[in-house]
Structure 1
């Protein structure tokens, strides 16, 4: 809950910071202190406070970390980088519980504490070693500033940034318009007409961004619901051991290794059809999963394969929407610069649509998944085959609805 509440605050902190790495370092420092407090505290209220502080620091770390990444890479490489980001989070989710459980069982409470503190300290050191791009190297000509691409970037980046996914026309250059009255092309785009165009494009971008946040949230809800219910269900229904249940979870999460490749093609073609097909297919596979309740080896094998297909759809949808949200934040920054240069006033709703706030949509989607996913398992219980079918059908229906909704958004990418 603390993560969900503090996401938006973290977004505005990331917007207001000149250095994108400073909020990250502040967040990771607070996380280090919160973890220390959590392990050392004996009072229940102090333990709850430490957990809330961990959630708040996680929001700052996640949002500022993504903001730092977006500020360091161009749009052509953004999808691949975001794919590796989701892959890293999945690897941590796979290894963390296994390693933590083993250490706690064999070495006790303090061994887990030591490993956690060492990992956080190593993260701080690695971030200190990363150098931010020199602002002087990021200076661009006026036309390139509007297009969002420098002269040294590749032709692929240039063609992608000319439209920035929302700009419907190519801006004139000095060569095309002439240099009469010593006016640059940027000055020509800084009039009220161009400002109103940018406002319209920012509004459209905001709706597309919202659809990606919703799509990512639904994928996270389905994933969290399955993570909370599958180990218990296979133990009750199939009589499998905890290790076998962990193997099923591995089948659910393993498709995330394809995240970088999905991000690459999302950057080239946009998220519309990838996210739509992933959500629709996930809905179908969720319904079939609810029907696989037999106790014979064939049904059990199909159950695990079906889990893998659901995981593939979740991976495709998550990485696609993550890439789209990050690209939207980059493009919003360019559009806001055009609006400021034109002097056009915008509504308070669009003023809130800052790059940092848009990037906070990623952690918001994740937090919603962590909150509502297990809640779905609690509501439907899933102790019987009929209840398991109801849970799977419910998750399948929200996936199908999300698929149709996503098909009506991001109609223009380049």
Structure 2
């Protein structure tokens, strides 16, 4: 949709507001996850009934269908990030992603063979690459600089709601109304998503129409979107190096953000990185590599259950597709705390929350190996461990999502303090950073189903449980060292500031 410079679009202030853009991205994320997860409890039954797969091969093809989604997302994400940072509009690739999502839904609906289902999953993965890469970059463009993790908390909540509602509705609708009814829900949700994506107006375009109320009035830096702060800095050609204020509580309203910038400053090398492509330059940061590892582990832990949990409860408890959908409730309900977790991460930094999340998830995963027969006590134990695991995972995801944008911001701030200008060029690198995020998530989504599915098939449920718990515990180590910047360098800088303030 093109806008005439002399005629502002109708409801401009509403359609370009932070809350509306956040809602649009949340709806897009919810739609993507819903369409991915709604058929999770249905696929084992559909493979047997529609694609005529033998029962003893269902687990194999379930794992393949889940993993192929992650593989497509992994391959497409870097291209989506590169394209989004070089286009004048982030909404345009979001609309293209809807086309891929619609095509995927149609193929999965009408397909009655394994190859067609695989092709549909590939298109779903491409759509997810667009939504997560471009959508999160747009959210960072819009968010207040000191509240990124809180905004990411709302996205995490939307994702968790999709994981919660989709398998539940998929199981209920499939058992009561059949396969076609499941896809009727999906087409309706795609229609809602279309409306939101067409109504959205990016802040960069909304700023072209200055209202009398905002004309001549400055916007405080703390209230401006991150992209606006970056663009304003680039325009100050007569004073390219901004003095660094002393680190006092009155001058640094967000101590976690200040620590993030300082923690990255010492990791950023001088000229070599500035001449590299943005993605390569970002990958030179150990802090970003840690964040990407965390994302990959989170995705692997989440998707591992998609491949094994429906079949496990069917085999162990005799549950139908309805029960296979309901069993996801304990995992997802704790995600309603995601905005609060994001707020805490903005205030105190990501290190302690993410580390605690990985450490506490490990024992709950390991204890799942105790569930091995059909009884009320075993069902309660399974649901309890899944709920505690869901809470632990929720401590990690919003901080890690915000950590990706913090690395970009820290590198830009560090380069400008040295008089080098932006290391990523005019287009910035937020979309490419979230392309790396999405690539890591896709890699985890590809690894998790294979890991869980093949370990269960060859070594049993108990071995799968303790192996995933060990992976979570190991991930806490690099998270503690690098999340929010090098722990050693951040603490050293804080001691120096404390000593300076004491002398003053």
TM score, norm. by length of structure 1: 0.77
1:103 deviates by: 4.3
Could you tell me how far 1:160 is from its partner in structure 2? 5.7
Q: Paired residue for 2:405, among 315, 326, 332?
A: 326
In the comparison of the two structures, how many residue pairs are matched? Answer: 378
Equivalent residue number for residue 374 of structure 1: 449
Separation of aligned partners in 1, 2:254 and 2:117 = 51
Contact 1:252 1:307 in 2 (8 A): yes
Q: Counterparts of 1:159-174 in structure 2 under 5 Å?
A: 165-166=261-262
> Does the 8 A contact of 1:332 with 1:355 survive in 2?
no
CA contact (8 A) 2:415 2:421 kept: no
Equivalence for 1:82:
152
User: For residues 39 and 392 of structure 1, do their structure 2 counterparts lie closer, same or farther at Cα, with a shift above 3 Å needed?
Assistant: closer
- Please say if residues 284 and 396 of structure 1, whose CA atoms lie closer than 8 Å, have aligned partners that are also in contact: yes
Whether 1:285 aligns to 2:364 is yes
Q: Of 215, 221, 224, which residue of structure 1 is paired with 2:300?
A: 221
| Residue 355 (structure 1) aligns with | 430
Matches within 5 A, 1:298-313: 298-313=377-392
Could you tell me which residue of structure 2 aligns to residue 258 of structure 1? 337
Alignment of 1:62-77 (within 5 A): 62-77=132-147
Structure 1, unpaired ranges of 5+: 149-153, 170-192
Tell me the alpha carbon deviations over residues 351-395 of structure 1, each in whole angstroms, 9 at most, x when there is no partner: xx9432221233223322332222123222268xx7222111111
Confirm whether residue 396 of structure 1 aligns to residue 469 of structure 2.
yes
Query: For structure 2, which runs of at least 5 residues remain unmatched after alignment?
Result: 1-70, 209-218, 220-227, 245-249, 275-280, 495-504
Q: Indicate yes or no: 2:200 matched with 1:125.
A: no
1:68/1:298 Cα in 2 relative to 1: closer, same or farther (>3 Å)?
same
TM-score (norm: length of structure 2): 0.64
CA gap of 1:304–1:98, structure 2 versus 1, over 3 A, is closer
- Evaluate the alpha carbon distance shift between residue 376 and residue 67 of structure 1 in structure 2; reply closer, same or farther with a 3 A threshold: same
Q: CA RMSD in A?
A: 3.9
Other-structure match for 1:173: none
Alignment match of 2:291 (pick from 205, 212, 228) = 212
Task: Provide Cα deviations, 1:210-252, integer angstroms capped at 9, x if missing partner.
Answer: 1111112112212222233233323333445554444432111
Choose the corresponding residue for 2:310, options 209, 220, 231: 231
Equivalent position SS for 1:18 = coil
CA drift of 1:117 comes to 2.9
Between structures 1 and 2, the one with greater helix share: 1
Contact persistence 1:329–1:356 (CA under 8 A) = no
- State the distance in 1 between where 2:170 and 2:379 align: 29
